[in-house]
Amino acid sequence: MVGGDADAQSKALLGVCEGPATEAYVLILDPHYWGTPKNSSELQAAGWVGWRKVSSVFDSSSFYNLCLTRRT
């Protein structure tokens, strides 16, 4: 989970990759989704999950907190 001060929209960060021209991307899941999707394409089409450019997801003037789970 990721959240910031100026960017109050919470996000579940599922993955990170480097795209063309060294542009960074993150796989984001909106944690507010509820229900049972028929398939993953339905979630992608509705915008609940997808790869996004880091520059479009995170506000450069905000700080961010990460909530990381730990397996025991």
Q: List, for residues 46-72, the tens digit of each pLDDT value.
A: 989 999 999 888 888 888 888 888 887
Beta bridge partner(s), residue 52:
26
The whole domain housing 40 covers 2-66
In a domain, 71, yes or no: no
Torsion-angle region of residue 46: left (phi > 0), alpha (psi -120 to 50) or beta? alpha
In a domain, 55, yes or no: yes
In a domain, 72, yes or no: no
Whether pTM > 0.85 for this model: the answer is no
- The answer to whether 53 and 68 have CB atoms below 8 angstroms apart is no
Q: List, for residues 18-55, the tens digit of each pLDDT value.
A: 988 888 999 999 888 888 888 889 999 998 999 999 98
How many structural domains comprise the chain? 1
